[in-house]
Amino acid sequence: MGALISQHFQSKSPKKLTFARNVKYSFDKIETRGCISQRSESAWHMQRTNLSLRGLEIFQLVAKSGSVRQVATETGLSISTVSHHLRGVEETLGVALLDHSRRPMALTPAGSVFARHVEEGLRIIRRGETELTSGDLAQVRELRFGTVDDFDSEVAPEIAQLLARAMPKCTFKHHTRPSHEIIRLIREQKLDIGVATRPVAEVPGLIEHPVLRDPFVIALPASIRDTPEDCLSGQGRLPFLRYSHLQIIGNLIEAHLRRTRVNLPNRFELESNQSLMGMVADGSGWAITTPASFARAQRFHDQIVLYPYPGRGFSRTMSLFSTELYPQATAELIAASLRRMINRYFVDPLSSSYPWLVPGFQVLGLSEVDA
């Protein structure tokens, strides 16, 4: 397989020749490591070129999940097609890579060795592919883009239209997920890039392009005369409405409350920002939120008042995340467009309504030319 790919690029550019050499090296390692001792060298060389890139990708996915059905759902292929690719890899190698009698399926000892080299080889191939298209949006073939629901109404549709124009050959897939799921999907290479809240702890392997500093504020019903200080001290009349502890925003809030030794009863915990804002609007409680989260709940703006967080303030950072496999020149172009849109739809309007948000609530990395 490596030799065939290398021959295909013989007349191409130096960049493509480098890619070809890396691909050949990767396939040679995949094909000759781990299982060769179980077959004669002559028999091995007769069938080694039957390994397909798609088959290796399918094997990698099944090895991680242990489920043909799950891989079929994730890839959009039929179960029979996934099984066919998997069977083709095993038949080419002449060894069982997975224990098909177990649920979920588990790697055999030979499969564990092979899986390590497949992962290394596919990583080199994908890095080569990104180098060939780096910075050239018109050549991008696929983009799997994730955003948090804070940007789902205004920013996501516009960025999708912009990218569709800039990437005429691209298949564009947009997903709306909570921040922690976007981070996980990028790490699992199920998303190429995504906008999310920066996690509490650093996540290795991710490249970050910060786009927004979003300070935490107090949200109170417009009809209530309690002060933010009353709420934090537990002297207010309304209960505290928490974001879910499963979400990054909820973890950031809880971490700050622990640091400042604020202890509030845990009566309500919500995943939905809209539900939380709705409960604040109808006088059912108060919340610690951010301007960007508040901006999404436009229908409740007349019924909610924002206040600065008393004492030691804190904020979250919204960023565009990717891995080293995605062209960073392309990621930065997308981040620059995001910054302009966030400034137009979020920072400027809210700063006009609440001037005290300046300068804490601001786009990060926005140049004067972009502004």
pLDDT in tens, 83-108: 988 988 988 888 899 998 888 999 99
Is the CB of residue 273 less than 8 Å from the CB of residue 292? no
Q: Say whether pLDDT at 168 is over 50.
A: yes
Output Rg (C-alpha) for the chain, integer angstroms: 25
Of 25, 22, 18, 20, nearest to 7 (Cα)? 20
More confident residue, 327 or 210: 210
Domain ranges of the chain: 2-133, 137-204+322-353, 217-313
Is the CB of residue 277 less than 8 Å from the CB of residue 303? no
Residue 221 confidence class, pLDDT cut points 50, 70, 90: very high
At the topology level of CATH, where does 2-133 sit?
Answer: Arc Repressor Mutant, subunit A (1.10.10)
Of 297, 257, 13, nearest to 149 (Cα)? 297
At the topology level of CATH, where does 137-204+322-353 sit?
Answer: D-Maltodextrin-Binding Protein; domain 2 (3.40.190)
Beta pairing, strands 268-270 & 240-243: parallel
Of 205, 208, 204, nearest to 195 (Cα)? 208
State the sign of the Cα–Cα–Cα–Cα dihedral 286, 287, 292, 298. negative
CB proximity list for 352: less than 8 A, separation 6 or greater? none
Q: Say whether pLDDT at 229 is over 90.
A: yes
Identical fold between 2-133 and 217-313:
no
Q: What is the rounded distance in angstroms from the CA atom of residue 150 to the CA atom of residue 245?
A: 18
Q: Which of 131-140, 256-265, 298-307, 342-351 has the lowest mean pLDDT?
A: 131-140
CATH class of 217-313: alpha beta
CA 117 to chain centre: 25
pLDDT averaged over every residue in the chain = 83
Of 360, 130, 316, nearest to 210 (Cα)? 316
Is the CB of residue 257 less than 8 Å from the CB of residue 322? no
pLDDT tens-digit readout, 172-212: 888 899 999 999 999 888 899 999 999 988 888 899 999 99
Q: Which contiguous run of DSSP H or E holds residue 179?
A: helix 179-187
Does residue 365 come out as left (phi exceeding 0), alpha (psi in the -120 to 50 range) or beta? Answer: left
The one-character DSSP state at 140 is -
Residue 368 confidence class, pLDDT cut points 50, 70, 90: very low
